[in-house]
Structure 1
Amino acid sequence: MKKLIQCTRKRGFTLIEIMLALLVITVGIVAASGLLGTSLDSAAKSHDDLNIVSFSDMVLNYCHAVTNWSELPPDGTLAVPDYDGGTFNLQQGSLERFECPAYTVSYKLEAQTHGPSIKALTLQLWPGYTSNGTARVFYTEIYNWADK
């Protein structure tokens, strides 16, 4: 009769294999958590840019729609229709703040007349309550087609 040799090898992972697996998992988690801060910062900047573009669109589209140039004074206050159906007074030539339930921007609007039928508008915008950082600048020229 032949004797069977039994193998006594135990199943499972060695300590080295477990340590390497934990190291790989740890490196992955640390890398993913490092991206979290960057993605949150990018989301906040995108939100600020959306607010700024929304406000500039509201102001500059109104200015382009004006047919009577006396409604666009070179300085002072400009009554601009708001999204909620009301109006707000847009101050020209000084740093001001616009607040609504969705967002707040700081702005400076300057209007200059270039000849008898061209007005240039420069709108500087900062997200939030202060004018810290670099302003986002929007420039447009408005032509008085009624004189043509």
Structure 2
Amino acid sequence: MGDTGTPQTAQEWAKLQQDADYEQARDDGAIPEPETGPACPDCGLAGDIHPTYYHWWIRLEPEDPEPLAAHTVPPRQRWYLDSNGTAWNSQDDEPDPGQTCRISHGLVCSRAERPDLAQWLTARTAASEVRAALLPPQLRMQGDASQSGSQVA
């Protein structure tokens, strides 16, 4: 790599892409090749196995009993399928209104280690506190007055 750490050759760029793909696959809970059957090797439940754009595979929960409203699923846990069956994770992008998504089986597998979504909730709470602190005083006081008003009544 050059002095700035930027890849200089096609091989260096390929290695950088491979490393980035590996890191994303690991974070997403993907596997390097499709498993032989639809059943989870940990719990035995069936799922849908789809390729990803980084050439790994992800086992998704079935859409039954109904698709999940994407806005109810935490960031980095929302999976979508393209028309060719390739799965992709929207990472931190906000879903469109009414959009549905899938989740990985690993997120709900009864016998697998799952990500700690409390970290997501803690981060969202902290962000809300920051946004609330930026509100004009009269808006913050409205919230306080409505609470104290309900206590008086």
Structure with greater strand percent: 1
Do Structure 1 and Structure 2 share a fold, with TM-score over 0.5? no
TM-score range, shorter chain: under 0.3
Question: When the two structures are superposed, what TM-score results if normalisation uses the length of structure 1?
Answer: 0.22
